[in-house]
Amino acid sequence: MSSVILKQVSKHYRLDAVEVPALSEITLTIASGRFTVLSGPSGSGKTTLLNLIGCIDQPDSGTLTVAGENVLALQDDALADFRARHIGFIFQNFNLIPVLNAYENIEYPLLLTGVDTRERQRRVQDLLDAVGLADRAKNLPGQLSGGQRQRVAIARALATNPALVMADEPTANLDSHTGAAILELMRNLQCERRMSFVFSSHDPNVLAMADDAVFIRDGRITGIEQRTPELAA
Amino acid sequence: MNAFSLALRNLLRNRRRSLTTLLAMMIGVSAILLFGGYSRNINLGLQTDFVRGSGHLQIQHTDYFLYGSGNPAAYGIADYPRIIATLQNDPVLAPMLTVVTPRLSLGGIAGNFDAGVSRTVFGAGVDIAGQNAMLQWNDYDFPGVAKTSPLTGSRSDAAVIGTGVARVLQLCEPLQVQNCPGAQRRETDGAAAPADITALSAQEQPQAERSASRTAIELLAANAHGAPNVARLNVIKAEAMGVKEYDDMAVQLHLQQAQRLIYGQDAPKVTAIVLQLKHTGQMPAARARLTELLAGPLKGMPLEVHDFATLNPQYGQITGMFAAILGFIAILIGAIVLFTVSNTMSMAVVERTVEIGTLRALGLRRSGIRRLFVCEGALLGAVGALCGIVLALLVAYAVNHSGLTWLPPGNVDPVPLTIRVWGEPAMIGRTALGLMLVATLSAWWPARRAAKLNIVDALRHV
């Protein structure tokens, strides 16, 4: 089953009067429940592709289907609701809301999707346990280390049980030891919960964990590797 | 966690900036309230003065208000005791009334013929008991002891004149009037009053009753038939009236004396029936009832009703002027608050651009982003207004207890400098609500800009 389908997707950026191609006629299918890594050098277009898949950016042409929905047909509010329900985000800089503590940061997406109080408490507590931060629930982001912040960000991304989790170089701002621990945590959670994780990274450690690797250069896919076999549904 | 809770936390996150904005709002709100309280006190003081002097409503002969000053006698209200009795016994009107009293206005010439001087004057014949009752009115709790008319307990020929009249009539010394330079006095040959005036005066008052006082004056007026008549009055006091034009013309005498002067042996009339109400707010109801009575039991009498604001146009002019100044100040302060809050919110949007992008990526709608910033503006407005109210109350309390005095226009004696903030919930509510609205609107534009941010650009923001 496919989580994301891109067909002939192109994206240009305008730099002053010049149009700079970021992605050119990308056709790609990302399978459900897989750990997919978009890999390529800086400026290759992997973040742009991740943004398109995460429905926070729009292509200039082509079609994009996420979790079975033609997201390009959705209006802004519907797209926001779609992201809240189906997509989780893990950012390079963690991007936690500074005025909310760890518990509240994880809870926030659940508030957006209207999950009731009891279920919210259950899920947040479960995720705090899963990322090993049950004792840090009341801490504000400023009171947490980089690794702990990224754990909170991971828990937040998983809170709504999304079909797809997007992670843009999630270990780039962490030391190698912490980065490895975070990677392992994400991999374990992805396996446990059978979610689709899509990473953009040029870190070989991340690439080593991938089920599927998509190589990008100059806005074009230069290769796709299936490193582990797809499980039968 | 709702938008207000998040907004509050964001405001507390940048305490210094929020406090600076709050301080601007506090000063703004308190400035409006303090000036509003000051002008409110002036308005109420002015109203109290007019209501004490001329009542809330006056029943006058039709057209007297427009044309009567030239010949008050021609606009007399006959059978006024019956009208007063009707008003006092009316079940609707009576509970609203504190005083119903007649008054007779007249124009004439006052002369101190012993000194060979005279001048035109405007006189008022008043019922002293009614006048004193009117002076007790204090619906707005102004400090001080209520005055009584200097004519209280005086003889029927007693009169009170303005200090300006006293100066012109050269009565400064016996009446102990200040600012009467000796140079203004002129020597006279001591000639008596013209023979015809003396004769009229003698007819009016037998020689035995005539006062031989140094403060005696003759008041010459046209009677109801247009013929001249004279009353000899004994001036018992010269009183400063506060307004020079009035001070130079005012003569107050007993109603019966004035009626004798104008109507002689005819049935006495008055030019106005003065009604004082318990509360100014009752004026519309009282006026409506008077209209009914004039169309019912008092039908056929050519009467009309005027309120104190119509009778004293300067009341509307002064209150209007203060309202305009207050409005101007409020607009200026509103503009300052608008730019201050707008600036604070704009800075917050710039600083929290990445956060906005994150919230949008997580699925918060544009309207949610707008709501967040508008809530922050509204909260700033609410807290600023609240603190401003407290500050204004404290400053007003300090000023009211400082013992400072000032001389309002039209007053003779200095009055305590009073700022009415406490007990003015409507003014406080309007000011607070207005500033909160301005603060909320100020946040609207930055909030709209925040909501329109492109998610990818916001996330890339450094």
CATH code for the domain in which residue A115 is found:
3.40.50.300
Q: Which three-class secondary structure string do you get for B87-147?
A: HHHCCCCHHHEEEEEEEEEEEEEEEECCCCEEEEEEEEEECHHHHHHHHCCCCCCCCCCCC
Token pair belonging to B230: 């004279």
**Cβ–Cβ < 8 Å for A207, A201:** yes
Cβ separation of A97 and B358 shorter than 8 Å? yes
pLDDT tens-digit profile of B149-187?
A: 999 999 999 999 999 999 999 888 888 888 776 645 555
- Pick the closest to residue B408 from B38, B26, B7 (CA basis): B38
CA distance B20 to chain A (A): 20
Q: What angle is formed at CA A69 by the lines to CA A67 and CA A70, rounded to 5 degrees?
A: 135
Return phi, psi of residue B197, to 5°.
-70, -40
- Tell me chain A's radius of gyration from C-alpha atoms: 17
Return phi, psi of residue B243, to 5°.
-115, 125
Instruction: Examine residue A1 and state whether it is found in any structural domain, yes or no.
Output: no
pLDDT tens-digit profile of B164-174?
A: 999 999 888 88
pLDDT tens-digit profile of A178-222?
A: 888 888 888 888 888 888 999 998 888 888 889 999 999 999 999
Cβ separation of A107 and B367 shorter than 8 Å? no
> Residue written as tokens 């008054």?
B103
- Residue B358 sits at the chain A interface (C-beta within 8 Å): yes
Mutate to test the interface with B, among A60, A90, A99, A138 (most CBs of B within 10 A): A99
Cβ separation of A56 and B9 shorter than 8 Å? no
Would the CA dihedral through A173, A175, A178, A181 be positive or negative?
positive
Look over chain B and give the mean of its residue pLDDT values, rounded to a whole number: 89
Cβ separation of B13 and A100 shorter than 8 Å? no
**Could you give the ipTM of this predicted complex?**
0.94
pLDDT above 70 coverage of chain A, percent: 98
pLDDT at residue A133 in the model: 92
Residue of A nearest to B12 (CA): A99
The DSSP element (H or E) to which B180 belongs, if any, is: none
C-alpha to C-alpha distance for B347 and B68, rounded to whole angstroms: 67
Estimate to the nearest angstrom the gap between the alpha carbon of B292 and the chain centroid: 28
Cβ separation of B358 and A81 shorter than 8 Å? no
pLDDT at residue A56 in the model: 95
Mutate to test the interface with B, among A95, A101, A124, A173 (most CBs of B within 10 A): A95
C-alpha to C-alpha distance for B97 and B109, rounded to whole angstroms: 35
- Which amino acid would we find at residue A181? A
Token pair belonging to B263: 């109507």
Strands (E), B300-457: 303-307, 405-406, 415-416
C-alpha to C-alpha distance for B447 and A232, rounded to whole angstroms: 49
C-alpha to C-alpha distance for B306 and B61, rounded to whole angstroms: 11
Instruction: Examine residue A53 and state whether it is found in any structural domain, yes or no.
Output: yes
Comparing CB atoms, the residue among A51, A98, A108 nearest residue B362 is A108
Confidence of residue B197 (pLDDT cuts 50, 70, 90): low
C-alpha to C-alpha distance for B462 and B456, rounded to whole angstroms: 12
Mean pLDDT for the stretch of residues B62-78: 85
Size of interface A-B (CB pairs under 8 A): 67
Between B425-452 and B15-54, two packed helices, what is the crossing angle to 10 degrees? 150
**Domains held by chain A: number:** 1
CA distance B389 to chain A (A): 29
Instruction: Check whether A150 has a pLDDT greater than 50.
Output: yes
> Residue written as tokens 């007779």?
B104
Cβ separation of B360 and A80 shorter than 8 Å? yes
Q: Where are the domains of chain B?
A: 3-46+316-460, 63-301
> Residue written as tokens 């828990």?
A155
- Pick the closest to residue B193 from B216, B174, B165, B173 (CA basis): B216
Q: Which residues contact A107 (CB under 8 A, 6 or more apart)?
A: A120, A124, A159, B1
- Largest Cα–Cα distance of chain A, in whole Å? 54
Cβ separation of A112 and B363 shorter than 8 Å? yes
Mutate to test the interface with A, among B2, B10, B358 (most CBs of A within 10 A): B358
Q: B297 vs B87, B282, B300, B306, CA distance in Å?
A: 10, 22, 9, 19
Instruction: Check whether B84 has a pLDDT greater than 90.
Output: yes
**Cβ–Cβ < 8 Å for B103, B124:** yes
Return phi, psi of residue B238, to 5°.
-105, 125
Reduce the DSSP state of residue B160 to 3 states and report it: strand
Token pair belonging to B196: 């015809």
Instruction: Check whether B456 has a pLDDT greater than 50.
Output: yes
- For residue A55, what are the domain limits? 32-60+74-226
pLDDT tens-digit profile of B309-366?
A: 999 998 999 999 999 999 999 999 999 989 999 999 999 999 999 999 999 999 999 9
Instruction: Check whether B461 has a pLDDT greater than 50.
Output: yes
Residues of B whose CB is below 8 A from A156: 362
Token pair belonging to A197: 């994780």
CA distance B309 to chain A (A): 58
- Residue B424 sits at the chain A interface (C-beta within 8 Å): no
Residues of A whose CB is below 8 A from B12: 99
Reduce the DSSP state of residue B57 to 3 states and report it: strand
Residues of B whose CB is below 8 A from A113: 363
Reduce the DSSP state of residue B151 to 3 states and report it: coil
C-alpha to C-alpha distance for B310 and B53, rounded to whole angstroms: 14
pLDDT tens-digit profile of B258-311?
A: 999 998 888 899 999 999 999 999 999 999 999 999 998 888 889 999 999 999
- DSSP secondary structure string for all residues of A107-173: HHHHHHTT--HHHHHHHHHHHHHHTT-GGGTT--GGGS-HHHHHHHHHHHHHTT--SEEEEESTTTT
